[in-house]
Copies of this chain bind each other. A is one copy, B any other.
Amino acid sequence: MSLETVLTRIDQDLPDATERLLELLRIPSISTDPKYKGDCQTAADWLVADLQSIGIEAEKRRTPGHPMVVGHVEGDGPHILFYGHYDVQPVDPLGLWDRDPFDPKIETVAGHKVIRGRGASDDKGQLMTFVEACRAWKSVHGTLPCRLTFFFEGEEESGSPSLVPFMKDNADELKSDLALICDTGLFGDSTPAIVTMLRGLLGEELTITGPSKDLHSGMYGGIAMNPARVLAKIIAGLHDDTGRVTVPGFYDGVPELPADVAAQWQGLNFDADSFLGQVGLSAPAGEQDRTPLEMIWSRPTCEVNGITGGYTGDGFKTVLPSQVSAKISFRLVGTQDPHAIRESFRAYVQSMLPPDCKVAFKSHGASPASVMSTDDPAFEAARSALSDEWPNAAAYVGCGGSIPIAGYFKNILGTDAMLIGFGKDDDQIHSPNEKYDLSSFHKGIRSWARILEALTKDT
C-alpha cells in the first residue's frame, strides 16, 4: 500500500486524533511546580497507554524527578528515535487567559481552527503529531516502517535535571541512527523548517539581601541600604547602550555567521516588522549592528525573566525591602561555555554589591548551543519530504529557543538530531492563551508520515 493510503487514513482519523490530544491537554503537567507532581505522573501514564494501544512496548521509567516514557518497536532498516516532552509551562498570569488553560477546546479564529490550551503547541500537540503518524502507518501497513524508539521527557520546561543522567544510564537502549525532535516551528505559515542551529540556555536566580528584615521607609529611608537599588544597578549594567551584554568574556566563542548561511537567511525575507508588530513592538531591541534574524537565531542574549521584592500587592506600603530577587537567563550560541559565563556573571554581581548587601545564587540549568551537520543525507531526504507536504520548500533555519537535548544526543549517544516542528510564531507558547493550529496538527502528522517513508524507502 502506498503513502497515499496512509495520508488518507490520517485525514479520516483527524477528529479522533484531535480528541486524543484534548485528553492529554487536560492533564496539568506543569513540571516546575511541585504541586503538579501527580499530574506529571498521570500524563506519563496516559502516554504509556496510548503507545501500547498502537502495539509499542512502552513503560514509564522512574527518575529522581518526573518520569520518562520510553517505548520500543522492533523493525528493519534504520533505528529512528523520536523525542518530545509531555510537561508544560506554568499558566500565570491566569487572569489573562480567555479560558481555563487545562480545559482545551477547538476554537475558530479568523476562519481557521485552533486547539486552545496550555501545551497545545509546546509540546503535547507536536509530540502527538509523530504518534498519530505512527498510528496511521500501523493501521494501514500492520507494522511500523523501521525500528523505532519513543522517548518522552517530563522536565523540559524546568531545565531537564534528570535527562543527562538518564541518557547516560540508558545509552545502549537509546542509541539510534537518527533522532527526530518535534519541539520547533514552521518558518511562516507555508514554509516548513528544519532547525540546524539552536541556542543554549543558562538560567540564574539571584537574591540580594540588604537589611535583615523589611524596614519602615520613614524610619530607615535614606540611611539603610535598599537592595532594590542594588539589583536595579546590576540589571541596568548587564547591557551597554548598543544592546551588547557586558558580562566579561560573554562573547568568547560567539562565531560570526558564515557568508553562505547569511545569504540563505537573507533569502527567507524575514518580516521583522510583522514579527514584532504582532506583539505590539516596532524596533528590534538587540545588538544594534545585527539583523533581526541574527538577534533571534545566532546571537546570544541576556534577559530578565522575573523580578520581585518588597510590597507588590494593591495599594502602597512604605516598606524598605530586606530582599529582592531576579531570574535572569542567557541564550548562548556557538561554543560559548555556560559554566564560564555563569562564573563571570556571578563575579560581576559580586563586584556590584555594596558592603551591606549579600547575594545568594540558584542555578536553573546550563546548556551550550547546538549546531547540526546537514551532510547526513537524511537531512535532504526529510527536507524533500516536507517540501512535498507544504506549499513552500522546506528551509534550514536557526532557532532562538534552547532544546539542549539535541546536543545531548550528539554528545552522549553519538546520534545526530533533526529538529522538525509545526508551531507558529503566534502560538503564544509560554504565554496565556497558547494554541496550536489544527492545520499544524493535521499537516504535522502528514509530514511525519512522509518523512518516515522517505527515511526508510530504500530498505
Give residues in A with beta carbon < 8 Å to B.
32-34, 89-90, 92-93, 96, 157-159, 199, 201, 203, 205, 210-226, 228-229, 231-239, 272, 275-276, 279-287, 292, 295-296, 299-301, 303-321, 324-327, 329, 331, 354-356, 364-365, 399-402, 425, 428-432
Docked complex Cα distance between A239 and B221 (Å) = 13
> For the complex formed by this chain, how many copies does it contain in all?
2
Do B223 and A32 touch across chains, with their CB atoms under 8 A apart? no
B296–A220 CB distance below 8 A: yes
Separation of A326 and B321 alpha carbons in the complex (Å):
12
Residue with the greatest number of chain B CB neighbours at <10 A, chosen from A272, A331, A364, A431: A431
Q: Are B205 and A316 in contact (CB under 8 A)?
A: yes
Contact yes or no, B222 A430, CB < 8 A:
no
CB distance from A431 to the nearest CB of B (A): 5
Q: 11 extra interchain contacts, Cβ-Cβ under 8 A, other than A158-B315, A213-B432, A315-B364?
A: A32-B315, A216-B401, A218-B401, A219-B400, A221-B303, A222-B286, A229-B239, A304-B321, A306-B310, A318-B430, A319-B430
Give the residues in chain B near A311, CB-CB below 8 Å: 90, 92, 305-306, 327
Q: Is the CB of B276 within 8 A of A315?
A: no
* Bound form: Cα–Cα A201–B327 in Å: 31
Shortest CB distance A201–B (Å): 7
* A429: B residues at CB distance < 8 A: 216, 219
Known contacts A292-B223, A316-B158, A306 near B305 by CB under 8 Å:
no
Q: How far is the CB of A95 from chain B (nearest CB, A)?
A: 12
A219 cross-chain contacts in B, Cβ below 8 A: 296, 400-401, 425, 429
CA A329 to CA B299, docked complex, whole Å: 38
- Distance of A320 Cα from B210 Cα, bound (Å): 27
By a CB distance below 8 angstroms, the chain B residues around A314 are: 32-34
Instruction: Specify which chain B residues have a CB less than 8 angstroms from the CB of A212 in the assembled complex.
Output: 279-281
A297 and chain B: residue at smallest CB distance: B222
Which residues from B are CB-within-8-Å of A210? 280-281
- Interface pair B316/A223, CB less than 8 Å apart: no
Measured between C-beta atoms, what is the minimum distance from A401 to chain B in Å?
3
Please report the C-alpha to C-alpha distance between residue A402 and residue B218 in the assembled complex, in whole angstroms.
6
How far is A320 from B287 in the complex, measured between Cα atoms in Å? 17
- CB of B356 within 8 A of CB of A282, answer yes
Q: A235 to chain B: which residues have CB within 8 Å?
A: 228-229, 232, 236
Least distance between A396 CB and chain B CB atoms (Å): 18
Name the contact of A32 in the complex, choosing from B300, B309, B316 (C-beta under 8 A).
Answer: B316
Q: Within 8 Å CB of A232, what residues of B?
A: 231-236, 304, 307
